[in-house]
Amino acid sequence: MIEYGIAQFDRFLKTVIPNSASAAKANPAQQAPHDIEMDEGSRQHAAGLMRINHTGEVCAQALYNGQALTAKSAEARAYLEHAADEETDHLVWCEERLAELASRPSLLNPAFYGASFAIGAMTGLLGDRISLGFVSATEDQVCKHLEEHMVTLPEEDQRSRAILQQMIEDEERHGSEALARGGKAFPSPVKQLMTVMSKVMTTTTYRI
Ligand SMILES: [Fe+2]
Ligand SMILES: [Fe+2]
């Protein structure tokens, strides 16, 4: 039990402390051309969007870790921990892009981690099938945000685009894997809570 608590705390620290996690896969931005001059407004806008996406990945880590904490079966717990590990790549890529854009992750990340962890743990209590259904619904929502960002990112920001494109592919796969594992629709209060939180997250982290 103590060991599990330490492992969870380690995951929290790696998520909220910049540069403390490392990616397993190469950053897709490496395939894109180096930055063409962006004007200050475009740079700030791109950084705002990438900060939102980074915090989205912080929330993903926290949701999965919260869900793993209260998962009913060892199998579901192992799957959720594996899913969280896969999201680490996204977290690191967004962090690296923020640095390239001469910006930083959101200062609100520890708070979003806490709130998401609580939602994740609560969802886990509703049972593994609902918890897996929640993964699929969350990934759907994430993909919608990412698609919007692909449209509103400055045209010349090929490097952020390359990252988001890979994230969209990965998130779609995460969603369908969760359904294939028996995920089913979860109660609408949790869904509403998610929508409210994602609104709060996207409006605050664009700047803060
Ligand atoms: Fe992700
Ligand atoms: Fe994902």
Report CA(106)–ligand 1 centroid distance (Å). Answer: 16
- In terms of Cα–Cα distance, which of 18, 45, 53 is closest to 207? 45
In a domain, 182, yes or no: yes
Computed over every residue of the chain, the mean pLDDT equals: 89
Mean local confidence (pLDDT), 145-173 = 93
Domains in the chain, number: 1
In this prediction, residue 157 carries a pLDDT of: 92
pLDDT (average), residues 163-167: 95
Residue 24 lies in a domain: no
Please check whether residue 67 lies inside any domain of the structure: yes
| Residue 29 forms part of a structural domain | no
The answer to whether the CB of 145 falls within 8 A of the CB of 164 is no
Given a contact cutoff of 8 angstroms between Cβ atoms, the answer to whether 95 and 54 are in contact is: yes
Q: Which of 36-45, 81-90, 103-112 has the highest mean pLDDT?
A: 103-112
Tokens matching residue 88: 């680490």
Q: Ligand 1 centre from 137 Cα, in Å?
A: 13
How many angstroms does the Cα of residue 169 sit away from the middle of ligand 2? Answer: 9
Q: Is 10 a member of any domain? A: no
From the CA of 172, which ligand is nearest? 2
**CATH code (residue 185):** 1.20.1260.10
Q: What percent of the chain has pLDDT over 90?
A: 50
Is residue 26 in a domain? no
- Cα 39 from Cα 150, distance rounded (Å): 18
Q: Which residues crowd ion ligand 1, with CB under 5 Å?
A: 87, 90
User: Domain range for residue 116?
Assistant: 40-205
Q: What is the phi/psi pair of residue 46, to 5°? A: -60, -40
Apex CA 23: angle with CA 5 and CA 155, to 5°?
A: 125
**29 and 79 Cβ atoms separated by less than 8 Å:** no
Q: Is residue 66 assigned to a domain?
A: yes
Most confident of 95-99, 141-145, 185-189, 199-203: 95-99
Q: Residue 30: its pLDDT value, please?
A: 85
Contacts of 126 (CB under 8 A, 6+ apart): 186, 187, 190
| Ligand in nearest proximity to the CA of 174 | 2
Q: What is the pLDDT of residue 181?
A: 86
Domain assignment of residue 31, yes or no: no
**pLDDT value of residue 35:** 67
Q: Using the predicted structure, report yes or no on whether residue 187 has a pLDDT greater than 70.
A: no
